[in-house]
A = this chain, B = another copy of it.
Amino acid sequence: MHAFKIAHERTWAGDLLLAQDHPGPRLLTLYSGWAIRSRSLASGERQILSVLLPGDLIGLETVFRGGQSDSVEALTDVTFCVFDSRRLDELLNVKTLARRLLSLLALDQQQLSERLTIIGACDAPRNLAQFICDLYDRLYGRRMVQGSRFKFPLSMRQLADALGLTTVHLHRTLRTVREQGILLFEGGSIEIRDLERLRALAPLTSSAARKQPFV
């Protein structure tokens, strides 16, 4: 795999790793930091499709489709490595690798399906609970949770865009879960004050935890 590595780069919070109309396909792996994949509408709305954590592969779908359609933005300062996507064909010669890529995409699809189900069928509190549970499980697997707290670099605006809500309404939802002693969102981090009730609120037992780092 190292043979396909082109560069090891770094950018800063707010920069775009992939633009919605970027020229060529680009394949990256996040080493450190957070990013989000999102899609914007002409009318101004934006939907955040997934949160990307260290170890995640970025841009796989664009390579196999040609043409980028959503954008990836760094939430924090990040380091990542770039693969040579033109040589990806050679990569498919290694069967275990081909299988690995397929299962990564399959898992991604799974997570999108779950998100779609939640957003389509649930109200704000359950939506929020599911999102946080999924994220918690992924962070836990990466040892990025300290006790019941973890860093959470999304702004309220961004979290709202991920949940398909407005900031105003998200804010009220956050207040109620805080008042219920379930969840505390404050100063760039989240404290889970009652994991059990949080999980009870989330309609699905997440599959997010199964998501393994790529490299």
Cβ contact within 8 Å between A108 and B109: yes
User: A112 on the interface (CB 8 Å rule)?
Assistant: yes
Q: Knowing A47-B121, A121-B164 are in contact, say whether A92-B103 is a contact too (CB < 8 A).
A: no
Q: Knowing A93-B95, A112-B113 are in contact, say whether A119-B119 is a contact too (CB < 8 A).
A: yes
Chain A interface SS verdict (over half): helix
Minimum C-beta distance from A203 to chain B (A): 5
Among residues 172 to 215 in chain A, which have CB atoms less than 8 Å away from a CB atom of chain B? 203-204, 207, 210
Minimum C-beta distance from A166 to chain B (A): 11
- The closest CB in chain B to the CB of A120 belongs to B164
Q: Knowing A116-B49, A116-B116 are in contact, say whether A99-B89 is a contact too (CB < 8 A).
A: yes
Report B-chain residues with C-beta under 8 Å of the C-beta of A60.
106
Q: Which of A4-12, A27-35, A36-44, A72-80 touches B?
A: A36-44
Q: Residues 133-169 of chain A: 1 if any B CB is under 8 Å from the residue's CB, otherwise 0?
A: 0000000000000000000000000000001100000
Report B-chain residues with C-beta under 8 Å of the C-beta of A103.
64-65
Among residues 63 to 85 in chain A, which have CB atoms less than 8 Å away from a CB atom of chain B? 63-65, 69-70
- Complex CA distance for A92 and B98, rounded to whole angstroms: 7
Among residues 36 to 61 in chain A, which have CB atoms less than 8 Å away from a CB atom of chain B? 39, 41-43, 45-47, 49, 60-61
Cβ contact within 8 Å between A95 and B99: no
Interface residues of A, Cβ cutoff 8 Å to B: 39, 41-43, 45-47, 49, 60-65, 69-70, 89, 92-93, 95, 98-99, 101-103, 105-110, 112-117, 119-122, 163-164, 203-204, 207, 210
Offer 5 A-B interface pairs, CB within 8 angstroms, sorted by A: A41-B117, A64-B103, A65-B106, A65-B107, A119-B119
